[in-house]
Amino acid sequence: MPQLIKVGMADLNIALYPDVLTTIGLGSCVGIALYDKINKIGGLAHIMLPSSKDIKNNSNKAKFADTAIVSLLTMMLENKADKKNIVCKLAGGAQMFALKNGSGNNDILNIGVRNVAAVKKVLEELKIPIIAEDTGGNFGRTIELYTEDGGLMVKTIGHGTKII
């Protein structure tokens, strides 16, 4: 019987087959699902901010794109994942607050877009391919990563459920 492993906000974890990883409440946050298809090892991070370098109290590595992905990859490799087999799927990065006229460059309100860009930059540096994503929009998401096949179920209110 597969175990459902919950990943909170600013949190990360890994799972071995047949377990399932899940996180709820992805608004401007980004869910990063890493998967080794040969060894059936999954990893899930729920990041809130693009960079740990912008924040003074940044001891929680899972909170930031630049540190969470590296930590998650390290955990997977320590549990017999092979980096050459790892692929990524992304969800989240929504624009949850309406931008007022003339404030289109407000980085604080544009956090979802900045989070997605930061995640993609780190993945590119680590040479981990993104094979699917469900990002942007103005709605929240809940995701589940299945270690059986790497499927990522994305549930939304008003936009249905799909597997990417």
Strand partners for 162:
154
pTM (two decimals): 0.93
Domain extent, residue 74, equals 4-163
Domain count, the chain: 1
Domain CATH for 119? 3.30.1330.200
Flag whether pLDDT at 10 surpasses 60.
yes
Which amino acid, one-letter code, is at 37?
K
Share of the chain above pLDDT 90, in %: 85
Q: 15-52: per-residue pLDDT in tens? A: 999 999 999 999 999 999 999 999 999 999 999 999 99
Give the strand order in the sheet containing 86-92: 11-16, 41-47, 30-36, 86-92, 130-135
Q: 90-117: per-residue pLDDT in tens? A: 999 999 876 655 545 555 568 999 999 9
State the catalytic residue, choosing from 29, 48, 68, 73: 29
Calculate the average pLDDT of the chain: 93
88 is catalytic: no
Rg (CA), the chain: 15
What is the separation, in whole angstroms, between the first and last Cα of the chain? Answer: 23
